Amino acid sequence: MTNTDTVDKPAPDISIVITCHSRKDFLEEAIESALNQTIPRERYEILLVMDFQDTELEEYCRNRNVKIIFDNRPQIGVKIALGVEHSRGDLVCFLNDDDKFVEKKLEMISSVFNTNPSCSYVHNNSMRIDSYGKYIGGKTVSMQRSSIRMYGSTSQRSMAAEFKKNMMFNDSSVSIRRRDYLPFSDLFYDVYGNQDNIIFYVGMIASDEVLFLSDVLTLFRVHDSNTSTGKELEGHCQLLERRIGSLCNTFVHLSDHHNFERISNLLFSDAKSQYMQYMILKEHQKSKANGIKLYMACESKGSAKFIFTRSRVGVFLLYKVSKLFPALVKTILWTQITSPK
């Protein structure tokens, strides 16, 4: 379901895709941050992909020329895919329903892509805010340089070293070149989590350059609805299982691409790291730790223990046979990922 007809309108330069999953506490703030940009409104469109219907919210969006796409499937990746498929801009900037853009976000992202025509993916830095919009810490990613570039020729070991800093964190910090992602949109229909990581992996095989910026262009909100409290830990562990499964599916889905060797070991190691976070949460299931503190601890420990696999031959063989025996490969991947070694 959409609420605007854009057939006769000229295509915008940029599309903002806001993904909303069963909550609207901070949604209007997210939309207002998308509206309050330094570039003219006619240069960009706003799409809201949501899984519930709300008459008052629909009226609010209609009055602000925000296009609504309704889909109630549980996979978060479905919202990513629908947003990309329905966008008309050359560039797509993702925004979660509880986060915010700074006013110069689109201006800077447009400039970066224009000066880097071979780049398919840009990740900007962010600052954490609380439920009231107050800052609660420094930048989410510590970078010593103003930007970090990765190319198709960049070694996976070098990439793994950077990812110890949680470089891919949060899809509200991600912008992409739409044409490079459209051929991969079907991948996201089976993604339950880790979509920010998976968007990066697609970028690495879809083009020859991705870029990470130290500039803070996103405000990442930390609140009870996106962290794990004691009562919710079991559910969060189950969600992590599905997220690890999403990475396994991604491995199989992308394995026949001619550039897959760029990311094969890194993708496997990412899944292994996610499993370590899963085990940390399992250990804390019966604790009464504060949800936000536990969330930060798991992020920190999971990143610190990011393992770069040296078993290149094993990974190579896995993706070579994945086209013939995808179910078997997924089983083998899960076994290897959950191995204590």
pLDDT digits (tens, 9 = 90+) for 68-125: 999 999 899 999 999 999 999 999 999 999 999 999 999 999 999 999 999 999 999 9
Burial class (CB in 10 A: 0-12, 13-18, 19+), 115: exposed
Average pLDDT of span 192-199: 90
Helix (H) or strand (E) holding 123: strand 119-129
One-letter identity of residue 333: L
Question: What's the CA gap between 289 and 286, in Å, rounded?
Answer: 9
Question: What's the CA gap between 193 and 244, in Å, rounded?
Answer: 8
Q: What is the pTM of this model?
A: 0.82
Average pLDDT of span 259-287: 76
Give the pairing type, strands 44-50 and 66-70.
Answer: parallel
Going by C-beta distance under 8 Å and a sequence separation of 6 or more, which residues neighbour residue 153?
none
Domains of the chain plus CATH, in order, are 14-226 (3.90.550.10), 230-337 (no CATH)
Q: Which of 31-35, 145-149, 220-224, 225-229 has the lowest mean pLDDT?
A: 225-229
| DSSP state letter for 316 | H
In the prediction, which pLDDT does 305 show?
38
Contact 68, 13 (CB under 8 A): no
One-letter identity of residue 86: H
Reading the block at residue 324, the tokens are 């013939």
